[in-house]
Structure 1
Amino acid sequence: MYYIAGYVLKVILSIFGGPIKVFGKEKLPKKDGYVIACTHTGWVDILWLGISILPLKINYMAKKELFESKGLKWLMEQLNAFPVDRENPGPSSIKTPMRLIKDGKIVGIFPSGTRSSEDVPLKRGAVTIASYAKSPIIPAAYVGPNNFKELFRFKRAKIAFGEPIHLRKDVPKKEALDYLMEDLNKAMKDLQEGLE
């Protein structure tokens, strides 16, 4: 189902503005699991992020509200999404993505929610998960249509991936997490500016 949906969406979205331009895909690790942290301004970037790395699959961290109806829950599960309570994150918020990463899978997180255009500070979720899973974080940025209205303007979609960022081992854990947050924030901002 994931591949069928991915390639069908690729054809449909490519009608609007042509195929996506992808930069830095070669920077994605060839083995082992990792986190992709991408900027987020609308629902279209979620689709394009998944399409941009096919045939690789992304396991998306999604808000639990999307799993409340049976039909949408089924669709989310087919698309490799798992629920997270953003208001009251529990142990599963860390355990599920950690297990996926340890199984060699890719976890996709949009750390700034839908407000990256407002330059809000990145949430700690992405760096916490990566640190516990001992995996790198791949920063990513998206520029392009964010909704139906912008799709019909045939705006070209672009995604850029940065170099893997690792947790520093030469400083205490709390300090290392702060550095990782700063490095991720800067990398995503630089990628975004490079695309605009």
Structure 2
Amino acid sequence: MYYFCANALKIILSMFGRIKVYQKENTNVPGGFVLACTHTGWVDILWLGVSMLPVKIHYMAKKELFQSRFLKWFMEQLHAFPVDRKNPGPSAIKIPRKLLKAGKVVGVFPSGTRTSEEVPLKRGAVTMAGYAKVPIVPVAYQGPNNLKDLFKRVKPRIIFGEPIFLPEELPLKQGMEVMMEQLELSLHDLQKQLQAFE
């Protein structure tokens, strides 16, 4: 189901303009890792999934998307798992940690909401990566954010940054603080790089 949907989306999205993908070699990481991507609209979720094929992404999604029986089934087929964004408890990290330990890729949007502005990042991506002891691959996206942008044929671009590893020489909490700082800097730099390609 995942590959069917992803390949169908690839065909549909490509009708509005092919995506340019930069530095995908940075995703050649052994084992599981966290993909931390900028988030400006629902289209970036689709293009991120397509750009990572044949690798599957397990997305963290808000629990509201799992309330109806059909949507719950559909989200599960796409390897998404629910999280309560208002009250994230210890269980919020349980599923992604298990996936990461099994060598899977978990997709997170650390801004926590769709925005074109720079906002303080939420700590979910770093918390997952830190406790699972896996790297974070930062990703920046620029392009269409909605149907209107798609029909205007706004060109999509995505760039993958260098993996950010947990510093083994530091205690876990300090190491995660370092990862957080590096993630913020990396996402900022990647967005600037994409703007330079215009």
Preserved contact between residue 41 and residue 115 of structure 2 (Cα < 8 Å): no
1:7 is matched with which residue? 7
The 3-state SS of whatever aligns with 2:34 is strand
Q: 1:127 to 1:51 in 2, by over 3 A?
A: same
The answer to whether the 8 Å contact 2:49/2:56 transfers is: yes
Distance 1:169 1:132 in 2: 12
Identify if the C-alpha distance between structure 1 residues 117 and 10 changes in structure 2 by more than 3 Å, giving closer, same or farther: same
Rounded to whole Å, the distance in 2 between the matches of 1:114 and 1:128 is 18
Cross-structure match for 2:70: 71
The residue that corresponds to 1:125 in the other structure is 124
Instruction: Give the distance between the partners of 1:78 and 1:186, measured in 2 at CA.
Output: 34
SS in 2 for 1:120: coil
1:167 Cα deviation from its structure 2 partner: 1.2
SS class of match (1:117): coil
- Counterpart check, 1:53 vs 2:25: no
Q: CA deviation at 1:116?
A: 4.2
TM-score, normalised to structure 1, is 0.96
What is residue 136 of structure 1 aligned with on the other side? 135
Deviations 1:69-127 (A, max 9, x none): 11111111111100000111122211100000111100000010234422111111100
Whole-angstrom CA distance in 1 between matches of 2:126 and 2:145: 25
- For residue 36 of structure 1, give the secondary structure of its aligned residue in structure 2: strand
In structure 1, how many angstroms separate the alpha carbons of the residues matched to 2:6 and 2:171? 41
* Aligned-residue CA RMSD (Å): 1.1
Contact 2:34 2:107 in 1 (8 A): yes
Contact 2:37–2:141 (Cα < 8 Å) also in 1: yes
Whether the 8 Å contact between 2:20 and 2:157 is mirrored in structure 1 is yes
**CA deviation profile, 1:18-43 (whole Å, cap 9, x unmatched):** x2111111111343001000000110
Q: Which residue of 1 aligns with 2:175?
A: 176
Identity of aligned residues (%): 62
Report the Cα distance in structure 2 between the residues aligned to 1:102 and 1:168, rounded to whole angstroms.
18
- 5+ long unaligned stretches in structure 1: none
Partner-residue secondary structure (3-state), 2:116: helix
Distance in 2, matches of 1:27 and 1:192, equals 16
Q: CA deviation at 1:171?
A: 2.9
- Residue 169 of structure 1 deviates from its aligned partner by 2.4
Count of aligned pairs between the two proteins: 195
Deviates more, 1:162-171 or 1:4-13: 162-171
- For structure 2, list consecutive stretches of 5 or more residues without a partner in the other structure: none
Residues 166, 176 of structure 2: 8 Å contact kept: yes
Distance in 2 of aligned mates of 1:88 and 1:169? 30
Query: Which letter maps to 1:157?
Result: P
Structure 1 ranges of 4+ moved more than 3 A: none
**What is the TM-score of this pair, normalised by structure 2?**
0.95
